Structure 1
């Protein structure tokens, strides 16, 4: 991340207006006011961009995706998509049934933590996030806490049997420090698992051209990440394994995943993943791209026409897009 040269070959925002057409072609996106004036707690004082809410800037805590209901629904669909990619599993680490304490970092809506708590009813599961958007009704062995994983953790050392994090791309200031903290707070013999994705959308048959909206998606995130001081190239740079090795984890293993977008794959199971992956993107493309493009100085109209072009390409059936995902898990040595 440090010293990396910014990407400079992003097509200008004005390009997408010419691709989609005039304003009549832009889908009507709900911009209902999300006023928080009546709420007194600072954790509910979100920033608002074009009617969408985002975690407010406080200290090092930041996240580029919206934290409202539309984005939450997309993330819940994505949870199912990720579970399908793992063959119906919630994790790859070889956990024993008698684990006691589990931490889910960046829990989001809490859906993974809820499913995990149901599957391991004897374990105490804690989900942490920087904004309180989690479900109110959860298993009795699950609790949610507000915590920024980029700062010192409030948990006891050698406490967790399993620490899990997923899709934290673009929100971690230093992956090496993060995994060093995890190492401190995981019990000897405990496991760390990290599930990340690449922002770059590509194809094996040349259907996703660099000049397409799908082809530009990753470039936009990478450039925005440079401006924000975070990396959207975690998978490309193999940061998960490198940071895990540097922290001292052993028995490190990984699972590489090519996640299709759309129904184009011939394999039945992969096609199902593609259908859900497409639903993730179509549910709320604006919630993913708005903050980053706003950071790059795009206007509201420019953002909307780009979103419309993304939808147009995904629905056309002419493209065979996918993005890479990488799951890495490792164990803290028994004797340290």
Structure 2
């Protein structure tokens, strides 16, 4: 099932590792079981005393660096230890719940499809970059037993029991080397354009490893709050909060405009047959349509679960005091509960194909 070039893998597989939630410290568990934002006013910015100095070797005998498992604790939340600090969102139970909700939202939005790209009935190689809890590659592997499915992430938070055709690896996707072989039918990203520093560079690295006729696909929720009927004021606390968070992400070197440039970047890196579908997703249950109301519940839950995390590192990067961050957070949460405001966000599914030379037969 696995190609010979897969033997070059040198990163850390989590397939035989227990779930990360089972190796948390006592302090971490206390924080996780309390209010997820408790750290702002009463808990200092606590981190463990491990100093990360590990690099992932390109050799096949790479051992597990301790930084993979020694998570950072800050603002009452848990963050990845491997390549500590480059990704400003947590990997704890609150974030796990948010990822599960986002997965359900996309399934609802896409009519039960896990992706739109036409990869045929018997794909061989699929990879999910920034897999998080690993729910997408696990579902894909169940649907496509012919495929070797890979998930990569900075955090070892994927389950220890996965389908036999799934492997999980811990890595920084923006490192220069590509260590997963070639001939991929599909390379998948979910909510990654707003956290990557160099999307164009990453796609340039990936392109040679996609098979001729293979695909890349992005599933993105844009965090720009919109309203078409005037029920949202210009100073809406939720919109102000998210706009401020974007400025905090810039401090981390993240290109928050990448989603607006995605179609152009795909073409510039060699992909063609680009499809970008944008759909409005309501926030809360204000629409009359039953399907839209269901989407609104998912979106409201997703945003609510992410507010505490965004009020931590991203707002702290702007040198806002704990009191300022708490005030902004509480105002945003109060505003989120107001169903008379007809807010929505745009969801984008963008997929593109690699075609080199003569591609004899259309896939459609």
TM-score band, normalised by shorter chain: 0.7 to 0.9
Cα distance in structure 1, aligned partners of 2:258 and 2:287: 26
**In structure 1, what is the equivalent of residue 8 of structure 2?**
none
Shift of 1:313: 1.2
User: Which aligned runs of 4 or more in structure 1 are off by greater than 6 angstroms?
Assistant: 32-35, 37-40
Q: Does 1:254 align with 2:276?
A: yes
Q: Does 1:175 align with 2:215?
A: no
Shift of 1:28: 4.9
Shift of 1:139: 1.1
1:42 to 67, 75, 81: 67
Shift of 1:283: 3.0
Shift of 1:222: 2.4
Cα distance in structure 2, aligned partners of 1:155 and 1:195: 23
CA RMSD of aligned residues (A): 2.4
1:219 to 243, 246, 249: 243
Residue ranges of structure 1 left out of the alignment (5+ in a row): 1-26
Cα distance in structure 2, aligned partners of 1:63 and 1:298: 19
CA gap 1:251/1:207 in 2 versus in 1, 3 angstroms? same
Q: Secondary structure at the match of 1:190?
A: strand
1:314 to 336, 341, 352: 336
**In structure 2, what is the equivalent of residue 132 of structure 1?**
156
Q: Is the 8 A contact 1:93 1:191 kept in 2?
A: yes
Cα distance in structure 2, aligned partners of 1:209 and 1:327: 29
Q: How many residues align?
A: 307
Q: Does 1:92 align with 2:116?
A: yes
2:95 to 71, 74, 83: 71
Shift of 1:73: 0.8
Per-residue CA deviations over 1:25-57 (Å, capped at 9, x if unaligned) read: xx9546489986799711123333212122348
**Normalised by the size of structure 1, how large is the TM-score?**
0.84
**Normalised by the size of structure 2, how large is the TM-score?**
0.78
Q: Does 1:120 align with 2:137?
A: no
Q: Does 1:294 align with 2:316?
A: yes
Q: Does 1:53 align with 2:78?
A: yes
CA gap 1:249/1:45 in 2 versus in 1, 3 angstroms? same
1:324 to 322, 346, 362: 346
Q: Secondary structure at the match of 1:316?
A: coil
Q: Does 1:305 align with 2:332?
A: no
Shift of 1:246: 0.8
Cα distance in structure 1, aligned partners of 2:36 and 2:154: 26
**In structure 2, what is the equivalent of residue 16 of structure 1?**
none
Shift of 1:82: 1.5
CA gap 1:203/1:30 in 2 versus in 1, 3 angstroms? closer
Shift of 1:66: 1.0
Higher relative contact order (CA closer than 8 Å, sequence separation 6+): 1
CA gap 1:30/1:176 in 2 versus in 1, 3 angstroms? closer
CA gap 1:251/1:54 in 2 versus in 1, 3 angstroms? same
Shift of 1:335: 3.0
Shift of 1:178: 1.1
Shift of 1:152: 2.4
Cα distance in structure 1, aligned partners of 2:49 and 2:250: 33
1:161 to 164, 181, 185: 185
Cα distance in structure 1, aligned partners of 2:48 and 2:106: 33
Q: Is the 8 A contact 1:169 1:197 kept in 2?
A: no
Residue ranges of structure 2 left out of the alignment (5+ in a row): 1-33, 51-63, 359-364
CA gap 1:57/1:227 in 2 versus in 1, 3 angstroms? farther
Q: Does 1:111 align with 2:135?
A: yes
Shift of 1:201: 1.0
Cα distance in structure 2, aligned partners of 1:228 and 1:36: 21
Q: Secondary structure at the match of 1:253?
A: strand
**In structure 2, what is the equivalent of residue 8 of structure 1?**
none
Shift of 1:323: 1.2
